[in-house]
Amino acid sequence: MPGNATSHNKKKIISQPQTVVYPYAIVYDFEAYLDKTKRYKPTTDLTYENTHVAISVSVGDTMNSQRLIFVMLTRKLC
């Protein structure tokens, strides 16, 4: 076969869909608001017209149902 001598050496990979169940799960949620009054200009060519301000983060899991974590941010992080 001129021009395509290696085409007969290729093997097809066939994967079968399968369901995997994990015993634990982690969930998280980040809350923020867009502050349109803050303008940030890190360089002469780049200007951010709005600032994304973090408010809170919540984390939960299925390993221990007695403990849930919620963090309220009360001051600016950056």
Express each pLDDT in 5-56 by its tens digit. 555 677 777 888 888 888 888 888 889 988 888 888 889 899 888 888 888 8
Residue 22 lies in a domain: no
Domain count, the chain: 1
User: What is the reported pLDDT for 69?
Assistant: 61
Residue 1 lies in a domain: no
Q: Range of 65's domain?
A: 29-78
User: Between these two residues, 78 and 10, which has the higher pLDDT value?
Assistant: 10
Residue 18 lies in a domain: no
Residue 2 lies in a domain: no
User: What is the reported pLDDT for 59?
Assistant: 83
Residue 59 lies in a domain: yes
Q: What is the phi-psi region of residue 63: left when phi exceeds 0, alpha when psi lies from -120 to 50, beta otherwise?
A: alpha
Residue 40 lies in a domain: yes
| Cut 0.75: pTM above it | no
Residue 35 lies in a domain: yes
Residue 19 lies in a domain: no
